[in-house]
Chains A and B, each alone.
Chain A
Amino acid sequence: MEPVSTTHAPLVSCENLSVSYRSPRTGLLGKGGRFLALDGVTLRIENGESLGIVGSSGAGKTTFAKVISGQLRPSAGTFEFKGTDPSLSGKASRGDFQRAVQYVFQNPKSSFDPRIKIGNALIEPLLSFNIEGDHVEMVMTALGTVGLDKGIYSRYPHELSGGQLQRAAIARALVVKPRLLIADEPASSLDVSIRAQILNLFRELGNSGGLTLVLIAHDLAAVAYTAQRLAVFESGRIVESGLTLEILKNPQSDEAKRLVSANLAIF
């Protein structure tokens, strides 16, 4: 199922990853259970590839994304980025990890502090990571990459549309020149005609090389359009993974079959 990895080490390596939550007690005398959000996930992400993650809600996609972006520590299993476990390393390399892995959230409207201008919001990570160089220049370049007008620099978040905000969020992620970009349902809260713009952008970013992309979506078609490889999640496990086109043409697992058949076509 998994393509054999090439001679160099994968960018991200997950081995038997598990994340469990304590679920609330049922009643005063009930015992709380443990809820397994991730149940033994093993996955390798190679440099420069674009990986799509699909599954129904509750399948563990977002939890997985949180683990590989450092927001969540796994309860069991190992997670390695460029060969090392970021939770075990010192402050300096933790900073390197945070800079190398960037995250785009689902809802663009809550991604930005309403009191801070877009330009300043984009400079923040540069300041926080102590990156040298002409910050304004770097921000303008990032804005250009995502197709935003330079005038956006001095606007406030509420002045931008959902599509523009999402692009600004992507620009903010790109400005620190990350190795890995994780996008959690980046286009699902946007209008259909705007969705195309965002998905095209991701497709470009994935194809340009140098950037590894992980895209989470419940919309199979969106993921199929942007990602070369696919991992299908169900109940905290990966039930199928491989080349996107292969899985779509020939789904093996029940979940993949279900997702493919649930997709509605226009013609």
Chain B
Amino acid sequence: MKPILQVRNFWVSSGNLSAVRGVDLDVFPGQKIGLVGESGAGKSMFGLGIMDLLPFGWDAKGSAILGDVDLLALSEKDHCEIRGRQVAMVFQDSLSALDPMKRIGWHFKRIVSRGSADRAGEWQDIAFEILTDLGVKDAGVTLRKYPHQLSGGQRQRILIGMAVAANPKLIIADEPTTSVDTAIQRNVLDTLTAATNKLGASLILITHDLALVANYCDTLAVMYGGHLVEAGSTREVLDKSRHPYTGALINSHISLSRVISKQLKTLPVIPGMMPSLESMPTGCAFRLRCDRAVVACEEIPPLLNAEGRSLRCWNPK
């Protein structure tokens, strides 16, 4: 099976600073990848880099082939063709992703008309259908509302609907549940994965929450300090993580069941914090906090891909 997106040696930099340093990733049709990392790891910049939506002063390098189109070689005009049609993005802050002065229906109208001119006339039916599929009750009423009149969870579903409206092949969701209640999180993610499945599309879920990936993604990719440090099938990586940071991240997660069974005495702590872009250490980014660091770690370990697993570590477990 050919991947719909092939990313090789992807860098996102601004002058001397690099937020993403050499990421390799393959996205296959129907695959759901959870891109996990803490703030500053570069995961959001990766998503923005793929979409060419980087903030002023930041550029992407390397190769990102969508189908047979080199995304980095596209002009802005050509990229506009791709965005929203073949690749769609669901943003974190639903309130600022929507125009506060326009009704929900207006947002859909624009997207559907853009998708194809002949569908433009039926935008209302299409939007209605999408919203109903997403579980929005009274879709007709919702289409006439303004963004601020809806709850966070409803708005997130609108964003998902907008992403899905143009039948994209790839959906990139950047922290879609951060501004939403924990209780609604499941709801939003159920909606997102159902919509993705219906389209037969692929999903890149960017998040800091390992639990979300554990429950909704078949592939887990972990980022730290701009590097992709480990990737592979979710179950495999979680059960037998090899990179020390992945292990530490898994241990930081509070398991309710372990608390209940009183097995959790103290949460293990990773000393220090993720280095900022300006103070990134030479060699492996995690080196200074790692309890398995060796002399070799002063050189950046290569990203090795074997048997569906990727790993960037000199001294893995």
A interface residues (Cβ-Cβ under 8 A, vs B): 56-57, 161, 163, 191-197, 199-200, 203, 218-222, 224-225, 245, 248-249, 258-260, 262-267
B306 at the interface (CB under 8 A from A): no
* A191-B208, A193-B248, A262-B182 as given contacts; A220 in contact with B273, CB under 8 Å: no
Tell me which residues across on chain B come within 8 A of A249, comparing CB atoms.
260
Q: How many residues of B contact A (CB 8 A)?
A: 37
* A221-B259, A224-B259 as given contacts; A267 in contact with B183, CB under 8 Å: no
* A221-B254, A266-B250, A267-B255 as given contacts; A191 in contact with B39, CB under 8 Å: yes
Closest to A249 in B: B260
Partner of B256, one of A163, A197, A260: A260
Would B255 and A266 count as touching, CB distance under 8 A? Answer: yes
Partner of B238, one of A194, A200, A262, A266: A266
Partner of B259, one of A57, A194, A225: A225
Instruction: Give the number of residue pairs across the A-B interface with Cβ within 8 Å.
Output: 101
Would A161 and B214 count as touching, CB distance under 8 A? Answer: no
B264 at the interface (CB under 8 A from A): yes
Would A264 and B211 count as touching, CB distance under 8 A? Answer: yes
Closest to B187 in A: A262
CA distance A70 to B168 in the complex (A): 52
Would A163 and B253 count as touching, CB distance under 8 A? Answer: no
- Since A218-B181, A248-B256 are in contact, a sample of 20 more A-B pairs with Cβ atoms closer than 8 Å, ordered by chain A residue number, is A56-B183, A57-B181, A191-B39, A192-B209, A192-B252, A193-B270, A196-B269, A200-B269, A218-B182, A221-B254, A245-B262, A259-B182, A260-B256, A262-B183, A263-B256, A264-B185, A264-B214, A265-B256, A265-B257, A266-B250
CA distance A263 to B214 in the complex (A): 12
Tell me which residues across on chain B come within 8 A of A225, comparing CB atoms.
254, 259, 264, 267
Give chain A nearest CB distance to B79 CB in angstroms.
32
Question: Chain B's interface: helix, strand, loop or mixed, by majority?
Answer: helix
Tell me which residues across on chain B come within 8 A of A193, comparing CB atoms.
38, 248-249, 252, 269-270, 273-274
* A200-B266, A221-B259 as given contacts; A191 in contact with B214, CB under 8 Å: no
Q: What are 14 inter-chain pairs, A to B, with CB distance below 8 A?
A: A191-B274, A192-B253, A196-B269, A200-B267, A218-B181, A218-B182, A220-B182, A220-B256, A221-B256, A225-B259, A225-B264, A225-B267, A264-B212, A267-B238
| Residues 9-40 of chain B, each 1 if its beta carbon lies under 8 Å from chain A, else 0 | 00000000000000000000000000000110
Interface centre among B185, B239, B269 (most CB of A within 10 A): B269
CA distance A192 to B41 in the complex (A): 12
Would B254 and A224 count as touching, CB distance under 8 A? Answer: yes
- By Cβ-Cβ distance, the 7 closest A-B pairs, closest first, are A264-B211, A221-B254, A196-B267, A191-B38, A266-B214, A224-B259, A193-B270
* A248-B259, A267-B255 as given contacts; A163 in contact with B273, CB under 8 Å: yes
* A191-B38, A194-B273, A225-B267 as given contacts; A258 in contact with B182, CB under 8 Å: no
Would A262 and B259 count as touching, CB distance under 8 A? Answer: no
B186 at the interface (CB under 8 A from A): yes
CA distance A225 to B260 in the complex (A): 9
Tell me which residues across on chain B come within 8 A of A192, comparing CB atoms.
38, 208-210, 249, 252-253
Closest to A266 in B: B214
Tell me which residues across on chain B come within 8 A of A224, comparing CB atoms.
254, 256, 259-260
CA distance A119 to B210 in the complex (A): 36
Give chain A nearest CB distance to B297 CB in angstroms.
19
CA distance A199 to B253 in the complex (A): 12
